[in-house]
Amino acid sequence: MDSPRVRIVFAGTPEFSVPCLEACRASGAEVVAVYTQPDRPAGRGRKLTPSPVKQAALAANIPVEQPETLKTVEARETLAAYQPDLMVVVAYGLILSRKVLAIPRLGCWNVHASLLPRWRGAAPIQRAILAGDNESGVDLMQMEAGLDTGPVLLERRTPITRDDTGGSLHDRLSLLGADVLTEGLRRVIVGEMLQAHPQSDDGVMYAHKLDKAEARLDFTRAAMALELQVRAFDPWPVAEGEIAGENVRIWAARATEQTHQHTPGSVIAAQRDGIDIACGEGVLRVTALQRAGGKRITAADYLNARPELRSAR
């Protein structure tokens, strides 16, 4: 007689979480319910929009729960009624109390987009790029009551290259998360107990939530620090700065170690391959940008609209 399938409740909200939901479905376990954030207003019309995880769950005919909180007795009773063996949490957006963590027989797993204990918290992907880290990854963690403090079960690593943006690293880590979760589920389903490795007390860093004000470029800073801002804040909230009196969004830029005597923020050269802006240390070459009300364009297209900049020296 076949043994009963492992029953999983999946909790997640953004696009990042969807590959992990699909990994649960493909694992041989039974996804008995999906928990996700309530529908939120989105787009110009501010129409209530289901999360990417909810859309994927409905397409797969999986029951969806969208509580505002899991702190009530009713919410815990609803979760317990699904009789989960395991709860898998990936960028869900709600804190799970000890009482919730105790409901599944095997506890709760979290797929977290950093190499813990570095970058616990809300924005680990962008914070890693902002800090100039050379490496990132995903950890499969056994959840406990603290914020991303639980022991690590499995890990996958990936280098952060100079071409990486918040968006490209997000997409890569999303797939790595599904990969490490697949491995964990494969081993648990056949009855293996994963070894939990406690996190070190050294090297703890918190990845605080992004604030749009952080996206403003201060050209008195070093060019490399500004390049990291531009890369980290693509695709949101997108870096902003002033080019010869016009405020623009800056989508792509590269720092150079060029020495100069120019005032920070001044345009010192403007060619088809980029607009060079003096910084407190070095030069930032802007290669893709966006004018107010416009779309993303190349530096060459921008200079077609502002030909006077071509004579900058």
Q: Which residues are annotated as a binding site?
A: 114-117
Strand bridging mode 274-278 / 283-290: antiparallel
Cα distance between residue 96 and residue 149, in whole Å: 13
Return the DSSP state at 299.
Answer: H
Q: Which two tokens stand for residue 80?
A: 């317990």
Is it true that the peptide bond before 235 is cis, omega within 30 degrees of 0?
yes
- Answer yes or no: are the C-beta atoms of 262 and 160 closer than 8 Å: no
- Environment class of 49 (CB within 10 Å of its CB; exposed 0-12, middle 13-18, buried 19+): middle
Cα distance between residue 176 and residue 54, in whole Å: 21
Which residues define the annotated binding site for (6S)-5,6,7,8-tetrahydrofolate?
Answer: 114-117
Cα dihedral 12, 15, 20, 22 in deg (nearest 10): 110
Cα distances from 34 to residues 10, 24, 117, 141, 213, in angstroms, run 5, 11, 28, 19, 34
Residue 304 CB partners (closer than 8 Å, separation 6+): none
